[in-house]
Structure 1
Amino acid sequence: MLNGNNPDLRNSEIEIKMSAKHVDVYYGDKHALKGVDLEIPARSVTALIGPSGCGKSTFLRCLNRMNDTVRGCRVEGDIHLDALDIYSKQVDVVQLRARVGMVFQKPNPFPKSIYENVAYGPRIHGLADSSEQLDHIVETALKQAGLWKEVGNRLDDSGTGLSGGQQQRLCIARAIAVSPEVILMDEPCSALDPIATAHIEELMDELRETYTIVIVTHSMQQAARVSQKTAFFHLGTLVETGDTRTIFTNPKDERTQGYITGRFG
């Protein structure tokens, strides 16, 4: 089922949450991303698709400066979160990553209790003035992540003792507990079974009412199900971007058509 019929994306007054202009990324001498221009609409899901090594995860990591942690990586160009130039020297990267959260490919809960996994971010960012307020933040995040009914009565249990799908939803709860504006998801379902994947996809559909979501996925079926906008990367270049339905049914570029029909990738 294609989900690319969001009327918000057909409107000329689309609110843009993040924008990238002329973005190039180098790993040492390797030119990994070449002149990427992409606008990310607010409160929607944007899917980044393409074959392995095409640059989609590299681009995703540019959006919250995770590439800063990679030795020899250099990012050029402009990336804005609303009016903020996120690569400005005045930007506090810790605060940026609170506004632009990330969920990784493999669930990575802290070796702490379920409660402490979710409370960690709000605590270090000073978002709670009391233990009651922190309790409320934890409960709200777990409810938003669709996990409260399953773990609400055992918050002292270890987060690492949950199933894979539950661990990933815990990581999503941990990300949203600091009230981000954008959530980046790097293949969040690749390590999960089909039932857990369905839970995460349903969750994304609910979360996009509040958050802007960017997802990297190898699954074109998943991109078609969950996203309103799709961007196709190939060999470090953003080949084509647009409304998800249009990209999957009437792409403009032959390379997009070839990837979608399985001729390469």
Structure 2
Amino acid sequence: MGKLHSNRVNVFYGEKQALFDVSLDIERNQVTSLIGPSGCGKSTFLRCLNRMNDTIPNCRVTGEILLDGKDIYDPDIDVVELRARVGIVFQKPNPFPKSIFENVAYGPRIHGMARDKNELDEIVFASIRRTGLWEEVKDRLKEPGTSLSGGQQQRLCIARAIATKPEVLLMDEPASALDPIATAVIEELIDELRENFTIVIVTHSMQQAARISQKTAFFHLGKLIEEGGTEDIFTNPKHKQTQDYITGRIG
């Protein structure tokens, strides 16, 4: 069993069912891409993995999702602690209306990860360095996060997400709002982060999935049609629907 394991997960928004019986293993220290047409359920599934769907009225999730063998929907689970272990980065960079430093310090501070200012500085600086942003912002840490360019803001949001030392990093189309150069930087970063994190990424770009992931899962109309090694999915898909999507017949 992988780092995360979903077993027959269904999601309902009121009466409407958005996901049907999704069972998927997510391996440690790999990048798993979720691909498929718009509205196929990939972001809905991603949000199940750290219970972000709890924040949506009328949303109901059934089935089980295990993190290291423990069901994250168990009533005894502390959701705040779960979200520290399973971080998320959204499609549009969304820095808090705070300084660059405070954006990254926010999580470690609320989770009580630093005993003093020096320790907090260390966590913040290390997280910024890991995203390759240090040289660009080291003299500007008191400036607002919103003063950075789009690509820098997204790296700041990734720094913020990894500052709480999560085990899993969820990314919902993290480069779709960025230009090709910023996208390449983010992709390189994802590849480096894989050494320390388990990463699940929703992407609408099949080229991106092929470049950065080791495993790919194809969703269509709320169902998981096929999953496997990325190379196999792209070169030798078993299902006609997967083949049609990859060759551009559906999308």
TM-score by length of structure 1 reads 0.94
Query: Could you say which residue in structure 2 is the equivalent of 1:127?
Result: 113
Q: After TM superposition, list the pairs within 5 Å mapping 1:95-174 onto structure 2.
A: 95-174=81-160
- Structure 1 residue 211, shift from structure 2 partner: 0.3
1:194 partner letter: P
SS in 2 for 1:105: coil
2:57 partner letter: R
1:39 partner letter: D
Q: In the aligned structure 1, how far is the partner of 2:11 from the partner of 2:49? A: 12
Query: Could you say which residue in structure 2 is the equivalent of 1:7?
Result: none
Gaps of 5+ in 2: none
Q: In the aligned structure 2, how far is the partner of 1:100 from the partner of 1:81? A: 9
SS in 1 for 2:174: coil
- Whether 2:226 is the aligned partner of 1:235: answer no
- Whether 2:41 is the aligned partner of 1:55: answer yes
- Whether 2:196 is the aligned partner of 1:196: answer no
- Whether 2:220 is the aligned partner of 1:245: answer no
Which stretches of structure 1, 4 residues or more, deviate above 2 A after TM superposition? none
- Structure 1 residue 46, shift from structure 2 partner: 0.1
Query: Could you say which residue in structure 1 is the equivalent of 2:15?
Result: 29
Query: Could you say which residue in structure 2 is the equivalent of 1:80?
Result: 66
1:141 partner letter: S
Q: In the aligned structure 2, how far is the partner of 1:59 from the partner of 1:133? A: 35
State the Cα deviation string for residues 120-175 of structure 1 (Å, max 9, x = none): 00000000001000000001000111111111121111100000000000000000
- Structure 1 residue 84, shift from structure 2 partner: 1.7
Q: In the aligned structure 1, how far is the partner of 2:117 from the partner of 2:226? A: 48
Query: Could you say which residue in structure 2 is the equivalent of 1:8?
Result: none
1:89 partner letter: P
Query: Could you say which residue in structure 1 is the equivalent of 2:27?
Result: 41
- Whether 2:203 is the aligned partner of 1:217: answer yes
- Structure 1 residue 40, shift from structure 2 partner: 0.2
Q: In the aligned structure 2, how far is the partner of 1:120 from the partner of 1:54? A: 33
More displaced, 152-161 or 129-138? 152-161
Query: Could you say which residue in structure 2 is the equivalent of 1:92?
Result: 78
SS in 2 for 1:101: strand
Gaps of 5+ in 1: 1-14
- Whether 2:163 is the aligned partner of 1:177: answer yes
1:99 partner letter: R
1:190 partner letter: S
Query: Could you say which residue in structure 1 is the equivalent of 2:243?
Result: 257
State the Cα deviation string for residues 190-231 of structure 1 (Å, max 9, x = none): 100000000000000000000000000000000000000000
SS in 2 for 1:248: helix
Percent of paired sites with the same residue: 70
SS in 2 for 1:42: coil
State the Cα deviation string for residues 87-138 of structure 1 (Å, max 9, x = none): 0000010100000000000000001100000000000000000100000000
Provide the aligned length of Structure 1 versus Structure 2. 251
Q: In the aligned structure 1, how far is the partner of 2:98 from the partner of 2:18? A: 37
SS in 2 for 1:16: coil
Q: In the aligned structure 2, how far is the partner of 1:84 from the partner of 1:128? A: 27
More displaced, 80-89 or 162-171? 80-89
- Structure 1 residue 236, shift from structure 2 partner: 0.4
- Whether 2:14 is the aligned partner of 1:18: answer no
State the Cα RMSD in Å.
0.6
State the Cα deviation string for residues 14-65 of structure 1 (Å, max 9, x = none): x611000010000111111000000000001000000001000000000000
